[in-house]
Homo-oligomer: A and B are copies of this chain.
Amino acid sequence: MPLDLQSEADFLKAYDQNQFDRPSITVDLVVITVIERRLQILCTKRTDHPFKDLWALPGGFVRMEESLDQAALRVLQQKTGLAQVYLEQLYTFGEVQRDPRMRIVSVAYYALVEHQRIQPLIPGAALLAIQESSSTLPTLGHEGQSYPLAFDHAAIVATCLQRLRGKLEYSPIAFGLLPKLFTLRQLQEVHETILGHKLNKDSFRRKVLASGKLESTGQTEQGKDFRPAELYGLRSS
């Protein structure tokens, strides 16, 4: 906490001094989904300067009467209509010049959503593929085109990918990108999409079944040309 060694008077003085001169706080959201083995994020097109016509992450100011988590949930609700998704604080970005207009500190969150649940999108929003190029910040892809992100949002997305890959090793978060019931193959595909490389099928099956996190349903998927796989769900107990 601030100013431990100062008196209350000093604190309030500092408070007054800073009252009209302090950073704004926003939350920015990396809403992630997977479509056809490609990682996609929800973006909104900027209609004004700065970064006019570029794609940016959805975000909004943190209000005085809401916590950071609540602000992130509210923005998510506004942009997607969704509640009940996996949402986690990612990192806080606070470079002085990250927004050219004014000093803004942004607390980034990421959400994992099955892409079906995001439709329909609000006007001005789109799901765009993440294009990674090693040793450079990611860009957005759509129909062969490549677009840069506004502000420092490419760095936010890059941090998000890192976190996601790290977490996959020991966390069950990939379930958030799938429907309630899914096959092991689907789960493996999502893992491969996030990690960017193929996984060993046998080993993946064994590990995920041994984890005890999945619940066998007895049902099988429908409409496949060949042998349908069993559907699993997240263990309730």
**Beta-carbon contact of A68 and B44 below 8 Å:** no
**Beta-carbon contact of B60 and A22 below 8 Å:** no
Report B-chain residues with C-beta under 8 Å of the C-beta of A46: 1, 4
- Which residue of chain B is the closest to A95 with respect to CB atoms? B67
Report B-chain residues with C-beta under 8 Å of the C-beta of A95: 67
A216 at the interface (CB under 8 A from B): no
Chain A's interface size range is 35 or more
Which residues 144-164 of A have a CB within 8 angstroms of B?
Answer: 150-151, 153
Given contacts A5-B124, A67-B95, contact A22 B22 (CB under 8 A): yes
Report B-chain residues with C-beta under 8 Å of the C-beta of A25: 22-23, 25, 94, 105
**Beta-carbon contact of B96 and A14 below 8 Å:** no
Which residues 1-18 of A have a CB within 8 angstroms of B?
Answer: 1-8, 11, 14-15, 18
Report B-chain residues with C-beta under 8 Å of the C-beta of A103: 64
- Which residue of chain B is the closest to A99 with respect to CB atoms? B1
A130 to B111, CA, bound (A): 33
- Which residue of chain B is the closest to A96 with respect to CB atoms? B67
Residue of A3, A45, A66, A103 most packed against chain B (CB within 10 A)? A3
Cβ distance A73 to chain B, nearest Cβ, rounded Å: 13
**Beta-carbon contact of A8 and B48 below 8 Å:** yes
Given contacts A23-B25, A64-B21, A96-B65, contact A104 B2 (CB under 8 A): yes
- 29 A-B pairs, CB-CB below 8 angstroms? A1-B46, A1-B59, A1-B104, A1-B150, A1-B151, A2-B104, A3-B60, A3-B61, A4-B45, A4-B58, A4-B124, A5-B123, A6-B48, A8-B49, A14-B61, A15-B102, A18-B61, A21-B64, A22-B22, A22-B64, A23-B62, A23-B64, A25-B94, A62-B94, A64-B96, A67-B96, A68-B93, A68-B94, A68-B105
